[in-house]
Structure 1
């Protein structure tokens, strides 16, 4: 958690419906514009049996953090009341504001978790007519600020960088086995046939005569 910051009007933690509205011998309500949460109006009137009784309306909330509680105010008293008082509630206690003023500004320091807010106190001395039972006291609050906590945004866990998938080693292309050169088919030996014998014999006799002639020529020399 971080140091306190401040609510912009009746927003966030201090949204109007989050406050507690308590009533003693009064009929009370609050009014606000959801489109403009800078201000709120507290409305209170006496119950029919409020004669000689204290009338108290309190609109309060716990301070979310320690810091400055401030606002502007305008109080319209209950016309039939013999005692019209408007208070700021600070750390659970009352600080009278309309003495004798009916408007002003207020600012003070408050502790975390303490009660802050607004209180209207009246007293009726005489029995109420039907018309008087509809008479209201009004407290208009504007420029409200109160301490709230700023929550540090969540920090995303560190993200590991992406891991490249393993790369398979390169695969050599398949090598074709060596191809033996073509082998000529074996040639069968030539076997002389009877038809070839006369020619072969003639060739042999010619060779023998040539050889004999060569020998005779050597002898004459």
Structure 2
């Protein structure tokens, strides 16, 4: 015997909710028992709600089909004598929920595209640093290949600018021993007591001054402040 249908809201993915209409049938002997009817409805909800929680509110028809299949399979395993004789649900999603869920899905898609583009850019930058700007000959060979592929000539002025840029990038490359040394010193200073850091900074300033590197001394004092 099919009971009167009832409606409820059930959570789907990402905190969005479905509007669910439940249809539950009970064994003929249990049809007149209110407790058995409530138990049957609760049993169906206990099966359907966790399944709906894995469903996308932008695909209500798929959710309905999947959960009804899950209900049929779960109820058939309950065996003879079970209170629930059958069950099915009807799934709907209101317009506002679908609109918000759609905007979230679009935002995620845009974020994925952005992440792919960032990864592509990082890979290209790593390639340029590792393979192209390691020396001027490699840079010119790369530019020649670009000219051949694109069918256009790169002006000498641009080549000179790129070579200058390549020199600057190589200067601050992690492969540069002095860059690696500076990082070690940075990490070392972070582990020292501030008083000991101050002592080392003062010693370094004195060394810069004693070797008459006045331009570097000015830059040093701009960062750390002049000493009396």
Q: Higher RCO, 1 or 2 (CA under 8 Å, sep at least 6)?
A: 1
Q: TM-score, normalised by structure 1?
A: 0.20
Whichever structure has more helix as a proportion of its residues is: 2
Q: TM-score, normalised by structure 2?
A: 0.20
Whichever structure has more strand as a proportion of its residues is: 1
